[in-house]
Structure 1
Amino acid sequence: MYRKYLSGRTVALILFVLNGISILFGITLISLGIVYIVDHGNMFEVVGSSLYTSGVYMLIFLGLVITIIALCGYIAADRENICLIVSYIFILGLLALLLFISGIMILSFRSSLGDSSKNLMIDSLRSHYGRHGIITDAWNLVQRNLRCCGVDDSGWSIYNGSWWDMIVNSDLYETNTKLSESSLFYLFVPESCCAKKLDGLTGWPTDIYRDKKRCQTWQYGPPNKRNGPHNDAIYYAVIYLSNNRMT
């Protein structure tokens, strides 16, 4: 009788410990999702709202499910109901299996997910930057904070032929005509691609550009040419790689 009571208490204690770990894990997932929404909210518009939001909200939903199941496990352990305990263990095992399968799928399709994300970013920049205020502000904020320009290598060239390029470099004297790239007034990149002077104490960028004119209009190298003399007035990093390092 005593051994049976002791084994029952041991099982209950193990369940309480497992539930505590599960609740902590669930709260961690919820917190990570909320942090991403608050701190990286601008990435919703840059990466593509459907791709980014679905991942973040799935993280929060999964955290809620784990927390609720763990609370049900506490009730089952407290009442020492065999039926509830068996049901709880079954659901917990099923959830662990689903998490394992999801992890394998994410690792298997990691490259394709990265390509999809990059394609959405390219489409967002070329078709919507300078056209929609929210997306434009999001891109500007991200490029300034990450000190980068464009999506891929030699990122400045992506602005050529974009919506922003057609609007900013339109010829005032000829309808539906763009300025020649050899024009002194032609802007190759927006201001958010231009490097700023760094604060000597903090190392953070100030509000003063190094050379905004050289950044946007220089003809002898970047951003006009893919190669050439180094232009320290413009950011060389690309947003796709910068975002990968950030996450």
Structure 2
Amino acid sequence: MKQAFIAVENGLCHKACCTRAVGDLSCLFSLILGICTLMVSLMAIYTHGEVTRTFGINLYYGMYIVLFASLCTIWTAFLGMCGMSAKNRFFVIVLVAGSILLIIILLIGLLLVLLFPYLAGDNVGAVMLKNLKDNYGTLAVITTSWDYLQGYLLCCAVEDNGWSAWRDSKWFLDENSVLLDDTQTIPASNPAYRMVPKSCCYRKLDYLTRQLTDEYENLDRCQNWQYGPPKFTTGAHNDAIYYRGCLPTIQAYIKRFSFWIMLFGFCTFFFLITSTTIGCITLQQIR
């Protein structure tokens, strides 16, 4: 009878040890994946920080939520490992409660990041167009942001072949206004006539460093050409101006980053669920 009791007790101890080992492993993976998600989110926010000002809204709500969730995941996973190893009931409770909360937050953040390119394109495009027409050239922050956006992403205006948007802007009127009469513009045949800003123009490539320089390929042809873009949406090809719009380019960039955020985020999501389950089992064993 005593031997049977000892055997049962040893079996329970072995089961408890295995459960805690799986819990430690799950917390370790959550910690690693949380760090990876943190790095990807920081990279996306850092490299595209200026872009957010172009929209009048913060495009990266989802990325900031994922960033916050990844920081909390790292801390919760660390406490969970300590709780599993030391059989500390308080730490395990923190692990379970934190994991449940993080599952909800992380899921919301991932959905915001992943669904943006498909659901918010029209709304963001309208905000971008309004900023371009009303604020470029009048507000320094918006002007700098648009120049950064177009120069960094090698795009022009909002939509593909969308140079005509610039001709409806306040910048266009200010740039081409007749001296002493702001309501009139100079003729298109005038060499000083400008249809798009410099940031829409191709820059020369330094073949040694493989970096773009501050010199332009052909500024006059880019800003005022009578045989095709930007004056017409069709006609002879103008190799001095960007054809691609900034909105499709941004959507492509977000999709590129969202793949890695999705990969690490959903892996973290899986291990958080595992940690929650193991934590609940461990709470039953630690009394």
Tell me what 1:132 maps to: 139
How much does 1:218 deviate? 1.1
Tell me what 1:41 maps to: 49
The question of whether the paired residues in 2 share the 8 Å contact of 1:194 and 1:234 is answered with yes
The question of whether the paired residues in 2 share the 8 Å contact of 1:121 and 1:151 is answered with yes
> RMSD across aligned C-alpha pairs, in angstroms?
2.7
Larger Rg: 2
| TM-score between both structures, scaled by the size of structure 2 | 0.74
1:152-163 to 2 correspondence within 5 Å?
152-163=159-170
C-alpha distance 148-219 of structure 1, shift in aligned 2 (>3 A) = same
Tell me what 1:148 maps to: 155
Residues 191-229 of structure 1: per-residue CA shift (max 9 Å, x gap): 111112333445443332221111111122110111111
The question of whether the paired residues in 1 share the 8 Å contact of 2:72 and 2:102 is answered with no
Residues 64-94 of structure 1: per-residue CA shift (max 9 Å, x gap): 2222322332233133256864674465356
C-alpha distance 63-99 of structure 1, shift in aligned 2 (>3 A) = closer
C-alpha distance 129-26 of structure 1, shift in aligned 2 (>3 A) = same
Tell me what 1:75 maps to: 82
Q: Residue type matched to 1:7 in 2?
A: K
Instruction: Pick from 123, 127, 133 the counterpart of residue 130 of structure 2.
Output: 123
C-alpha distance 59-100 of structure 1, shift in aligned 2 (>3 A) = closer
The question of whether the paired residues in 2 share the 8 Å contact of 1:51 and 1:117 is answered with no
Number of equivalent positions: 246
- CA–CA distance in structure 1, aligned partners of residues 100 and 182 of structure 2: 66
Tell me what 1:232 maps to: 239
- CA–CA distance in structure 1, aligned partners of residues 232 and 208 of structure 2: 34
The question of whether the paired residues in 2 share the 8 Å contact of 1:29 and 1:62 is answered with no
1:206 paired to 2:251 = no
C-alpha distance 87-213 of structure 1, shift in aligned 2 (>3 A) = closer
Runs of 5+ unmatched residues, structure 2: 1-8, 255-287
The question of whether the paired residues in 1 share the 8 Å contact of 2:174 and 2:182 is answered with no
Runs of 5+ unmatched residues, structure 1: none
User: Relative contact order (alpha carbons < 8 A, sep ≥ 6): 1 or 2 greater?
Assistant: 2
Residues 20-76 of structure 1: per-residue CA shift (max 9 Å, x gap): 11112222232223223322222121234x322423321221112222322332233
